[in-house]
Every structure is written in structure tokens, then in C-alpha cells.
Amino acid sequence: MIPKDCKRLAEVDFPIAEVSRHAAREKSIRHGHPSTLHLWWARRPLASCRAILLGLLWPDPCDPLCPQEFKKAARLHLPKLPHCNPGKTDEELRRALLRFIADFANWDNAGNPAYLEVSRALVKAAYPDEPPLVVDPFAGGGSIPLEALRVGCDAFASDLNPVACLILKVMLEDIPRHGPKLAEELRRVGAEIKKEAEKELADLYPQDPDGATPIAYLWARTVRCEAPNCGAEIPLVRSFWLCKKPNRKQALRPVRVDGSLRSGGSVQFEIFTPKTDREVPAGTVSRAKATCIACGSVLPPERVRAQLAAQRGGADVVFDARGRRTGGARLLAVVTLRPGETGRHYRLPAERDYEAVRTAQKRLAKILEEWERSGKQGPCPVPDEPLPPVGTLGFRVQRYGMLQWGDLFTARQKVALVTLGRLARERPREDGDAVRTAMAWW
């Protein structure tokens, strides 16, 4: 046991510059890093968690109270690694331990068996009776407990947020328990679900007649100009640029029909290749105000909010009984990939793009009807719980009439998410709990 008054390594020194460098580099690692498993907003770099844990767990060899067994073990194990020569004196040993901590902070060494063995051997030497328990009651993305497990501690992690709990369960329990087999199973089950979902959702995401595949729909919420004698529809966009890459520049601009920018109450657009930035019109929204493209009038923030609130946020298209769009969200452009060609293409929306959305709205209505007919068994397929009060964690969308979680999505997104959720839920028990839990992630 380390005596209570014995200083820990981190109390006397810490290789902060090197650990910071490794922590910063970790942010750009996209492949094979736990952070890519699931988004977490305040994820701590593993490099700094690993380094500070060792700095806090290990005693300072220069402290007269430092257990001799720890120093002996350190002198025995450190020479197994490059640049970690423990020398003869306590100062040299301290430097070697700090060197080890700095090098082990490198993500490339995090799975290196030599570093793992030495770190665990020295934690064991400092705590010969039983592994130390690292407790993190608000563990979030789980960096601290993950690194505690890596260096041979026991870990306890919890969080109030259910997303964080799910991340912790999969990363700290299921992955260590099942290893690479879990990844394999996940790929197999994921591929099956993808295939089935593609089949069920095909008519909501139709291919173009020329074989191109739409990969993104660029929507805008809309409000109406309130200037006398205008009433034009204003799509709310920050920028009319579609692509700013040199040689591929594309943008939208309003077209005059019969000399007027307004035709039937709405402004028509075309896609063009701007030669200079000045040819691209300014966006219509700035600081929550909206500027009318047709007459230049400005709609103040409270009117923009009121109009959007009346559309419950305005994410959905409003159709009349004959299926014609009369308001709500407006499709400005569709991004497509063409077979055999590289690069993205941009085209104006066609009738079939809106038709697919109408199909999605009908499908969603049916899903909700079935749930009602079942006597509302289980939770609503589209989350109908209220959003937290305005201001919670930066939530401010409630002022725009988005009051329930479901309001954050369009009808098509809801159908796609409900479908994926159902397919994951309907998987047989034989898939195993770990696969089913991990599937819920995605």
C-alpha cells in the first residue's frame, strides 16, 4: 500500500507538453478509435486520461515514503521500453516514469503489448493487495474508466444521460467481454438490416430517371413576406452557395418570370456557375431576421418565430388535397451522384421529389394510426415526449414551435428512423444481447 502522506507522481511533475500534443493528435484519428463508435459532445482525449491516471496512481520515487517494492518493480520493468532507462538514482527513476507516461500517451502505443504489460505491472506493484477502483460517477463518453481498465484497475462508471449509459455499457462491458466476435456479428446483422431497410424505404428515396442517385436533399423552411402587396414566400437560407470548390462552383439565384421575381406567390430559382462571389445572392436569414427576395422587406425575428411556430417548426412540406405543395418546407436543390462519374451534381427539385415526401407523410400517418388502434401499446413510434424547457443544454428551438422530440425531424426522416428502429428491435433473441444493444446505437 502507498502510505497516505507519500506524494503521487502527478503532484511533483507531469509531461504536460507531450501529453497535450498526443491528446490534440488523437482528435484527428478517424479509424479504429473508440471515439468513432458514437458521438459524445464532451469526450475527453484518451491520451490525457491515460497519462493522468498513471500520474495519480503511481507514487513519486523521490518521496522517502515511496514503497521500495514499487521502485524495484519499476527498475525491473522500465528497461523493456526504449528511452525509459531507470538509471541509478531516484531522480533518474522519476524521469524514466515520466518518460513512460509521455510515450504511452501516444495512441500508437495504447495497444502495444509492451506498454500495456509494464503499465499494469507497475500499477500492481503499487497496489499489491487488490487492483485500485477508479470511480467516475459522470463518465459521459467513458474515457476515464476505459483508460482505468487499460492499465489494470477496476472501474465504476455511471451517468444520468441514457446515451452516455449506452456508450459506457457497450464500450466498457460488451466489447471487452466479446472482443472482435462482436464486431463480426454486428457487421452481419447490420448488413441484413440495411438490405431490408433499403427494400422497405426504396419508394421514399427514388433514383433519378437517368440512373443518378440522390444523396442529399437541400431543404429550406419558409415564411411569407408580410409587406403590403407582396406576400412572397421566403425560403430561409444562410447562403445560396451549393458548392464552393474551385472549378466546381455552383450556386442558386432567383429568376425573373415575366419581369417579376414573384410568380404565383413564390420565387423561382436556377442553378448557375458563379464567376465571382458577388454574383451569388446574399442569404435570406441573418440574426433571426428574414429578408424578402422579391421586395427586400425585412421580417423581424418575432414574426419569423411566430410563422414557424404556426407550422410547428416548419420542417415538413404542406400539401393540398390534390398533392400540390402549398407551403412549409421547400426543396431548393438535390445533390446526386451519377454512375461512373466522380463528384457531386446539383439539380433543381422535380415533382417526383415531392411525391416521395407525400408518400412518406402517408406512411407515417399509417404508422401512427396503427399505434393508436393498438390502444397505444408501448411508447409512440415517433418520440412524443416534450423537449426540455427552453435553455436546457442550449435548446432554443421551442420558440419556433418545435415542442416534442419528434418535431425535430421531417416525415421522411421519421419513417426511416422508425423503420430502422423496428428492424433492429425485431431481430431474433439468438443475435445475443450485446449485438442487440450495439444495434440500438446505430
Residues at the contact surface with Zn ion, assessed by CB under 5 A: 225, 227, 230, 232, 292, 294-295, 297
User: Residue 284 CB, nearest distance to Zn ion (Å)?
Assistant: 11
User: Residue 231 CB, nearest distance to Zn ion (Å)?
Assistant: 7
Neighbours of 329 (CB within 10 A): 23
DSSP state of 229: T
CA distance linking residue 291 with residue 331, whole number of Å: 19
Residue number with CB closer to Zn ion (260 or 392): 260
Residue number with CB closer to Zn ion (85 or 297): 297
How many residues are given for the chain?
A: 442
Residue number with CB closer to Zn ion (224 or 345): 224
Residue number with CB closer to Zn ion (297 or 437): 297
User: Residue 225 CB, nearest distance to Zn ion (Å)?
Assistant: 3
User: Residue 253 CB, nearest distance to Zn ion (Å)?
Assistant: 17
Residue linked to cell 468513432? 36
User: Residue 292 CB, nearest distance to Zn ion (Å)?
Assistant: 3
User: Residue 262 CB, nearest distance to Zn ion (Å)?
Assistant: 8
Contacts of 164 (CB under 8 A, 6+ apart): 40, 139, 140, 141, 142
Q: Distance of CA 277 to CAs 294, 348, 355, 370, 395, Å?
A: 21, 21, 34, 51, 34
Residue number with CB closer to Zn ion (124 or 303): 303
Written as nine digits, the cell of 77 is 520493468
Chain centroid, CA 41 distance in Å: 8
152-155: Cβ within 8 A, 24+ apart: 152/119, 152/120, 152/123, 152/124, 153/53, 153/57, 153/123
Residue number with CB closer to Zn ion (52 or 232): 232
Q: Which amino acid is at 320?
A: D
CA distance linking residue 11 with residue 2, whole number of Å: 14
